Amino acid sequence: MRVRLFLTALSLLPLPAQAIAPQSVTYYCTSEAAGGLKYDEQLKKWRSINFRTGKAFVLKLQFLSASKEKMFDFEPSPTTVNQFRVTVTEAGSSKEKNCINMNDPKAPVRVWGDGWVRCETVFTEYRAG
């Protein structure tokens, strides 16, 4: 059985209400909540499950480029999309892990106008905003 862990990480530093600035930056983050789904063999259905929150971590964003794009065809105008190389380092460690684009592991992590960073390492999804 594969259980996927989702971490929602909120930065201790205030982030802008719009997009994350197009610059290289480092955030110290803590996990506020962690949860996911688990298949219950007895009930024969999926149910929610809570996990212990992970350790604090450092989220490092290296700015690569920016472009104007439409996320959906029906949008009236393009939105700025910032592209970053993202790494995660757990508190107390010096080992950086690449945090990859969830849709295309070979592409940089893309941050749309909503300002949320979404990426993943092995078995962990990070969302910060």
Write out the residue range of the structural domain in which residue 99 sits: 5-122
Instruction: Specify if 78 maps to a domain.
Output: yes
Q: Which residues of the chain have pLDDT under 70?
A: 1-19, 114, 129
SS3 21: coil
Inside any domain, residue 129: no
Report if residue 127 sits inside a domain: no
Regarding pTM above 0.75, the answer is no
The answer to whether residues 85 and 64 touch, using CB atoms and an 8 Å cutoff, is: yes
Give the model's pLDDT for residue 47: 92
Counting the structural domains of the chain, the total is 1
Strand segments, DSSP code E, in the chain are 5-11, 25-40, 45-50, 57-69, 79-90, 97-99, 109-111, 117-121, 124-128
Tell me, what's the pLDDT at 114?
66
Q: How far apart are CA 124 and CA 111, in angstroms?
A: 18
Q: What is the pLDDT of residue 19?
A: 53
